[in-house]
């Protein structure tokens, strides 16, 4: 399974977003003309409109937002009030060209607010969220504008449009309908109120998660308590404590998932228990960052909004614009896998218990023991553990000799690092991307290290999206959260971190290789339950023999990873899949349960509801808690994957079948990469997602490769 992450995309997320508007964007706003001295006032003069990070200051965003909203509303009003009969060019194309200033401001702001935030940006985010939601309403609930779109859609067969243009018209009509364009005036007013409240609540949830994660870091008094962690990691914990004015102590920062990386190495069980307890309690133990009330409010507001739009619950509303289509299909997928996944997890727990008993541990395996003893079970079964692998996974080699190398072999891409472009943090790296003919096609930004002011997880975003209509090339960024080692120490990655690097670059390729006309369809502007598919496919190259031999070399000696160790790694791919699948399913089920509630059934007891939901679904296995609990479940509650966390598994079905196609056709070959690029990666959202898959694969996806990958082909329920 891929490593879940937050993906920042301008995708058709059923709610309101389109690539043309780039971000939720407000009722008419009075704004002074934006002076040319504001670096956001015009497109950057740097290559490919790369953002001038050295010139952009916090104080530039508010006036730029105001001007951007004002300008786009003026553009939309001009389209709506055009006395000429609606045509594709004077209505649809005109909308695609609108809002360039707002797109520029919102993409740069949202990217920085996720990767390098501060109190000033957080305050702007809180202020702008409801205004942007109102701005979107002012566009999508503009009846004159919608009537022009509707009129064109009604006679679409007579317009002689090419396939991409015809699909654009279809998408605009659907976007307006889903945004409430057909509602009465009174209901539109209610809808605007819901949108503003939801936007503010999502912002509050996101900011609480980041602040609570930082505040909940584990503090220990002695170096001995961190036994098992590397000297470099312990030194980093001491440095973090000093930074927090806790000299002499040690601080282990949390990541946003329930599981915490140090749990796999900490030998002190009491410290492991404290670390897991801190992780599980986030947002639900009182205090100013408690998210329980926010979760309840969001669930109710989303349900009420969905009902207003004619849907029985928010999930039904959200899924109508996804490839899964409805809650029945999602529930079927999750329920079919739940029983065998938990059965496999129980078998894995039994194996762990044998190790504990053999060591005379005198305790039953708990959630905070799993990662620690899993490595021991792995070592016993396959004669290796994570510590043997990390020396072969040095970050620079993984990136250049692994991730980039695979892209070169498959797509003919080459990468050249440059130091002359400004960055928002000294650790950020920038690469020019060249096609096989030597022509530069895009710029790639790599932001790999964790920071206290950076959101958790890993994600991709586009600062500039490719568009033939606008003449723009993509500027795409990957963000990871790898702990930064002390100065002079190498950055050695765990297997999951290597996998994440390949995964996120799969998203990047979707943006870098985009070749569409309309910005609405650029790169990752596809349904949410399809967007993970290309990124999951890219994970396969992590263990491809040719790729691995090129990057998995000992950071000191340069010696390649021994074949016998690699063979063991490959042989262990199905290891611990019961745990991995169960923790993911538990989170996915929580996401669906919250969003399949009608408004009058939303409970006030968040933790009680969670416990009952997990029990009813058959995934309440204490040693394997959900990957995210509701109070820090940013995918679900912050808006990007609301009622959509199942998407990773849905996409993985397509991914597993695609991996089989690559294997059947010779693997890491340029002809295979070119076929995937031409039929799917370059096409963005220019057609129905599953039609793109069928064009690539020649048929619908089969489920068997996914079941085989996860070790669920046998009847694990017995």
Structure confidence by residue, pLDDT tens digits, 201-258: 999 999 999 899 889 999 999 999 999 999 989 999 999 999 999 999 999 999 889 9
Q: What tokens appear for 189 in the block?
A: 């007013």
- Decide if 504 is catalytic: yes
Q: What whole-number distance in Å separates Cα of residue 103 and Cα of residue 242?
A: 40
Q: What is the dihedral of CA 374, 377, 381, 387, to 10 degrees?
A: 60
Q: What is the reported pTM? A: 0.84
Q: pLDDT at position 27, please?
A: 39
Q: pLDDT at position 31, please?
A: 57
Question: Shortest CA distance to 397 belongs to which of 171, 528, 615, 549?
Answer: 549
CB atoms within 10 A of CB 638: 20
Q: pLDDT at position 717, please?
A: 42
Q: Which residues of the chain have pLDDT under 50?
A: 1-29, 714-718
CA 296 to chain centre: 23
Q: pLDDT at position 496, please?
A: 87
| Sign of the C-alpha dihedral computed for residues 537, 543, 544 and 550 taken in this order | positive
Q: Which residues contact 718 (CB under 8 A, 6 or more apart)?
A: 343
Q: What whole-number distance in Å separates Cα of residue 319 and Cα of residue 311?
A: 11
Report the DSSP pairing between strands 250-252 and 474-482. Answer: unpaired
Q: pLDDT at position 456, please?
A: 81
* Residue burial 673-709, b: 16+ Cβ < 10 Å; e: rest: bebbbebbbbbbbbbebeebbeebbeeebeeebbbeb
According to DSSP, the residues that pair with 443 across neighbouring strands are 432, 475
| Sign of the C-alpha dihedral computed for residues 609, 315, 508 and 401 taken in this order | positive
Residue in 504, 539, 583, 610 annotated catalytic: 504
Q: What whole-number distance in Å separates Cα of residue 333 and Cα of residue 326?
A: 11
pLDDT tens string 592-640: 999 999 999 999 999 999 999 999 999 999 999 999 999 999 999 997 7
| Sign of the C-alpha dihedral computed for residues 586, 587, 592 and 595 taken in this order | positive
């Amino acid at each position: 399974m891929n490593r879940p992450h937050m993906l920042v995309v301008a995708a058709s997320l059923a709610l309101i977003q389109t690539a043309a508007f780039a971000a939720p964007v407000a009722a008419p706003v009075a704004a002074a003309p934006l002076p040319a001295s504001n670096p956001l006032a015009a497109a950057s003069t740097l290559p490919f409109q790369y953002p001038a990070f050295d010139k952009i200051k916090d104080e530039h965003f508010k006036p730029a937002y105001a001007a951007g909203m004002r300008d786009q509303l003026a553009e939309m009003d001009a389209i709506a009030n055009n006395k000429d009969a609606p045509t594709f060019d004077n209505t649809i194309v005109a909308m695609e060209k609108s809002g360039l200033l707002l797109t520029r401001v919102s993409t740069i702001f949202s990217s920085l607010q996720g990767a390098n935030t501060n109190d000033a940006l957080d305050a702007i985010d809180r202020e702008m969220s409801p205004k942007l939601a109102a701005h979107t309403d002012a566009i999508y609930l503009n009846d004159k504008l919608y009537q022009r779109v509707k009129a064109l859609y009604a006679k679409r067969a007579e317009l002689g449009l090419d396939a991409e243009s015809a699909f654009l018209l279809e998408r605009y009509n659907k976007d307006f309908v889903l945004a409430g364009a057909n509602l009465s005036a009174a209901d539109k007013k209610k809808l605007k109120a819901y949108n503003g409240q939801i936007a503010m609540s999502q912002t509050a949830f996101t900011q609480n998660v980041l602040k609570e994660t930082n505040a909940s870091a584990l503090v220990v008094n002695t170096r001995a308590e961190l036994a098992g962690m590397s000297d470099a990691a312990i030194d980093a914990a001491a440095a973090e404590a000093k930074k927090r004015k806790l000299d002499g102590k040690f601080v282990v920062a949390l990541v946003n998932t329930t599981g915490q990386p140090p749990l796999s190495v900490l030998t002190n069980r009491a410290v492991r228990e404290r670390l897991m307890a801190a992780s599980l309690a986030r947002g639900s133990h009182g205090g100013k960052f408690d998210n329980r009330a926010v979760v309840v409010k969001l669930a109710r507001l989303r349900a009420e909004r969905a009902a207003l739009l004619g849907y029985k619950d928010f999930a039904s509303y959200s899924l109508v614009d996804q490839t899964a289509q409805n809650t029945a299909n999602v529930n079927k997928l999750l329920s079919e896998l739940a029983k065998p996944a938990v059965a496999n997890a129980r078998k894995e727990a039994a194996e762990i218990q044998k190790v504990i008993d053999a060591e005379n541990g005198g305790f039953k395996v708990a959630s905070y023991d799993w990662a620690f003893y899993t490595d021991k079970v792995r070592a016993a079964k396959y004669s290796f553990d994570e510590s043997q692998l990390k020396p072969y996974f040095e970050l620079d080699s993984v990136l250049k000799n692994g991730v980039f190398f695979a892209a070169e072999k498959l797509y003919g891409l080459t990468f050249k690092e440059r130091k002359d472009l400004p960055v928002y943090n000294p650790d950020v790296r920038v690469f020019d991307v060249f096609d096989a003919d030597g022509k530069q096609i895009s710029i790639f930004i790599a932001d790999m290290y964790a920071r206290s002011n950076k959101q958790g997880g890993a994600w991709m975003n586009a600062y500039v999206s490719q568009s033939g209509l606008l003449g723009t090339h993509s500027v795409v960024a990957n963000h990871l959260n790898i702990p930064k080692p002390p100065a002079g120490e190498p950055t050695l990655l765990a297997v999951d971190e290597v996998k994440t690097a390949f995964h996120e670059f799969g998203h990047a390729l979707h943006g870098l290789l985009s070749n569409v006309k309309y910005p609405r369809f650029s790169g990752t502007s596809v349904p949410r339950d399809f967007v993970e598919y290309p990124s999951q496919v890219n994970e396969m190259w992590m263990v491809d023999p040719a790729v691995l031999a090129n990057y998995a070399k000992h950071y000191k000696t340069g010696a390649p990873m021994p074949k016998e160790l690699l063979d063991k790694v490959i042989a262990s791919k199905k290891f611990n899949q019961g745990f991995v699948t169960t923790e993911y399913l538990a989170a996915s089920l929580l996401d669906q349960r919250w969003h399949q509630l009608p408004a009058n059934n939303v409970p006030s007891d968040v933790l009680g509801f969670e416990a009952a939901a997990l029990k009813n679904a058959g995934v309440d296995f204490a040693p394997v808690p959900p990957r995210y609990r509701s109070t820090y479940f940013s995918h679900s509650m912050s808006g990007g994957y609301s009622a959509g966390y199942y998407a990773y598994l849905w996409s993985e079905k397509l991914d597993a079948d695609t991996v089989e196609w690559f294997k059947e056709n010779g693997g890491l070959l340029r002809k295979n990469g070119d076929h995937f690029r031409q039929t799917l990666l370059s096409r963005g959202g220019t057609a129905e997602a599953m039609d793109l898959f069928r064009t690539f694969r020649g048929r619908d996806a089969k489920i068997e490769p996914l079941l085989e990958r996860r070790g669920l082909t046998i009847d694990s329920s017995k």
